[in-house]
Chains A and B, each alone.
Chain A
Amino acid sequence: MNLSDLEPKAKEIIQRYDQRRAATLPLLWLVQESFGYVSPEAERWVGGLVGTTVSHVREVVSFYTMYRTAPAGRRELRVCMSLPCLLRGANDVPHEIEKRLSIRPGETTPDGELTLTEVECLCSCEIAPMAQLDEQFVGPLDKGALDDLLGGLTREPEPFITTDGPILSTRFKDPGGTWFDAYVKDGGYTAAKKALSMTPAAIIEEVGKANLRGLGGAGFPAARKWSFIPKDSPKPKYLVVNADEGEPGTFKDRYILERDPHALLEGMIVAAYTIGSHKAYVYIRGEYFRSAKRMGRAVEEAYAKGWLGKNIQGSGFDLDVVIHRGAGAYICGEETALLSSLEGGKGFPKLKPPFPAISGLFQCPTIVNNVETLSCVPYILRHGAEKFGSIGTPKQGGTRLFCVSGHVNRPGVYEASVGVTLRELIEKHAQGVRGGRKLKAVIPGGISAKILTADEIDVRMDFDSLIAAGSMAGSGGVIVMDETTCMVDALESASNFFHHESCGQCSPCREGTGWIHRILRRVTDAKGQMGKLQDLEDLLAIASDMEGKTICVFADAAAWPVQSYIAKFRGEFEEHIRTGKCVRTSEAVA
Chain B
Amino acid sequence: MIKLTIDGREVESPEGSTVIQAAEKLGIFIPRYCYHPGLSIAGNCRICLIDVEKNPKLQIACNTPVAPGMVVHTMNEKAEDGRRAVLEFLLANHPLDCPVCDQSGECDLQNFYMNFGLYDPRFREQKVKKKKAVALGPHVMLDQERCILCSRCVRFSDEISKTGEFGIFNRGDRAELGLYPGVVLDNPYSGNVIDICPVGALTEREFRFKARVWYLSSAPSVCNGCSTGCNIDVHFVLDRPHLNDGARVLRLKPRVNPDVNEWWMCDEGRFGFHWIDRERLTKVRHRGADSKWDAALSGIGADLAKLTKIGVIASSQLTTEELFLIREIFQSKLGARVAAPALKPAGKGDDFLLEADRNPNTRGAKLLGLDGTDAASLVTDALEGRLEALWVFGHDLTSMVDAKKLQELSQKLRLFVFSGTNESPTASFAHWVLPTAAYVEKDGTFVNKKGRVQRIGRAFPPLPDSREDWSLLLEIARRLNQPLSFRKPQEIFLGLADAETPFAGLSYETIGLQGAQLKA
Q: Do A and B bind each other?
A: yes
- Give every chain B residue within 8 A of A545 (Cβ-Cβ): 85, 88-89
Which of A52, A55, A502, A519 has the most chain B CB atoms inside 10 A of its CB?
Answer: A55
CB contact list, A505-561 vs B, under 8 A = 505-508, 510-515, 518-519, 522, 538, 541, 545-546, 548-551
Q: Does B117 lie at the interface of the complex (its beta carbon under 8 Å from any beta carbon of A)?
A: no
Q: Does A229 lie at the interface of the complex (its beta carbon under 8 Å from any beta carbon of B)?
A: no
A31 to B121, CA, bound (A): 47
- Name the residue on B nearest A513 (C-beta): B172
A503 and B171 form a contact (CB under 8 A): yes
Given known contacts A40-B181, A56-B164, is B126 in contact with A514 (CB within 8 Å)? Answer: no
A329 to B172, CA, bound (A): 11
- Give every chain A residue within 8 A of B170 (Cβ-Cβ): 62-63, 504
Quick one: which of B163, B167, B173 contacts A513, CB cutoff 8 A? Answer: B173
A543 to B120, CA, bound (A): 17
B93 and A54 form a contact (CB under 8 A): no
A43 to B164, CA, bound (A): 14
CB contact list, A455-508 vs B, under 8 A = 499-508
A523 to B86, CA, bound (A): 25
B43 and A551 form a contact (CB under 8 A): yes
Q: Which of B57-65, B355-363, B445-453 contacts A (4 or more CB under 8 A)?
A: B57-65
Q: Does B90 lie at the interface of the complex (its beta carbon under 8 Å from any beta carbon of A)?
A: yes
- Give every chain B residue within 8 A of A508 (Cβ-Cβ): 46, 85-86, 89
B41 and A511 form a contact (CB under 8 A): no
A507 and B171 form a contact (CB under 8 A): no
- Give every chain B residue within 8 A of A59 (Cβ-Cβ): 167-169
- Give every chain A residue within 8 A of B183 (Cβ-Cβ): 54-55
Q: Does A325 lie at the interface of the complex (its beta carbon under 8 Å from any beta carbon of B)?
A: no
A62 to B57, CA, bound (A): 32
- Give every chain B residue within 8 A of A53 (Cβ-Cβ): 163-165, 180
A346 to B179, CA, bound (A): 16
B164 CB, nearest partner CB in chain A, Å: 3
B93 and A511 form a contact (CB under 8 A): yes
Main secondary structure of the interface of A (DSSP, over half): helix
B46 and A499 form a contact (CB under 8 A): no
B171 and A329 form a contact (CB under 8 A): yes
Query: C-beta contact mask, A345-388 vs B, less than 8 Å → 1, else 0?
Result: 01000010100000000000000000000000000000000000
B46 and A501 form a contact (CB under 8 A): no
CB contact list, B35-71 vs A, under 8 A = 41, 43-47, 49, 56-58, 63, 65
A500 to B47, CA, bound (A): 24
Q: Does A58 lie at the interface of the complex (its beta carbon under 8 Å from any beta carbon of B)?
A: yes
- Name the residue on A nearest B148 (C-beta): A507
A518 to B93, CA, bound (A): 12
Quick one: which of B46, B57, B149 contacts A504, CB cutoff 8 A? Answer: B149
- Name the residue on B nearest A535 (C-beta): B124
Main secondary structure of the interface of B (DSSP, over half): loop
A8 CB, nearest partner CB in chain B, Å: 27
A504 and B172 form a contact (CB under 8 A): yes
B89 and A550 form a contact (CB under 8 A): no
B86 and A507 form a contact (CB under 8 A): yes
B58 and A353 form a contact (CB under 8 A): no
The count of residues in chain B whose C-beta lies closer than 8 Å to any C-beta of chain A is 44
Given known contacts A55-B166, A351-B43, A515-B123, is B57 in contact with A548 (CB within 8 Å)? Answer: yes
A507 to B56, CA, bound (A): 20
A40 to B183, CA, bound (A): 12
A100 CB, nearest partner CB in chain B, Å: 31
A513 to B93, CA, bound (A): 12
- Give every chain B residue within 8 A of A346 (Cβ-Cβ): 168, 171
A514 and B169 form a contact (CB under 8 A): no
B112 CB, nearest partner CB in chain A, Å: 12
- Give every chain A residue within 8 A of B58 (Cβ-Cβ): 548-549
B96 CB, nearest partner CB in chain A, Å: 14
A506 to B170, CA, bound (A): 14
A423 CB, nearest partner CB in chain B, Å: 32
A109 to B57, CA, bound (A): 51
B263 CB, nearest partner CB in chain A, Å: 22
A54 to B169, CA, bound (A): 12
Quick one: which of B56, B82, B175 contacts A510, CB cutoff 8 A? Answer: B175
- Name the residue on A nearest B179 (C-beta): A55
- Name the residue on B nearest A346 (C-beta): B171
- Give every chain A residue within 8 A of B41 (Cβ-Cβ): 351
B88 and A514 form a contact (CB under 8 A): no
- Give every chain B residue within 8 A of A511 (Cβ-Cβ): 89-90, 92-93, 173
A328 CB, nearest partner CB in chain B, Å: 10
B166 and A351 form a contact (CB under 8 A): no
Q: Does B122 lie at the interface of the complex (its beta carbon under 8 Å from any beta carbon of A)?
A: yes
CB contact list, A22-68 vs B, under 8 A = 40, 43, 52-56, 58-59, 62-63
- Name the residue on B nearest A550 (C-beta): B46
Shortest beta-carbon contacts, A-B, top 6? A53-B164, A545-B85, A55-B167, A514-B173, A504-B175, A518-B125
- Interfacial residues, chain A to chain B (CB-CB below 8 A): 40, 43, 52-56, 58-59, 62-63, 329, 346, 351, 353, 499-508, 510-515, 518-519, 522, 538, 541, 545-546, 548-551
Known: A55-B183, A507-B89. 9 other contacts (CB 8 A): A63-B170, A504-B168, A504-B175, A505-B44, A507-B44, A507-B149, A512-B89, A515-B89, A551-B43
Instruction: Pull 18 A–B residue pairs with CB atoms less than 8 Å apart, ordered by A.
Output: A54-B183, A55-B164, A55-B167, A62-B171, A351-B41, A506-B44, A507-B44, A507-B45, A507-B149, A510-B89, A513-B172, A514-B92, A514-B173, A546-B89, A549-B46, A549-B57, A549-B58, A551-B44
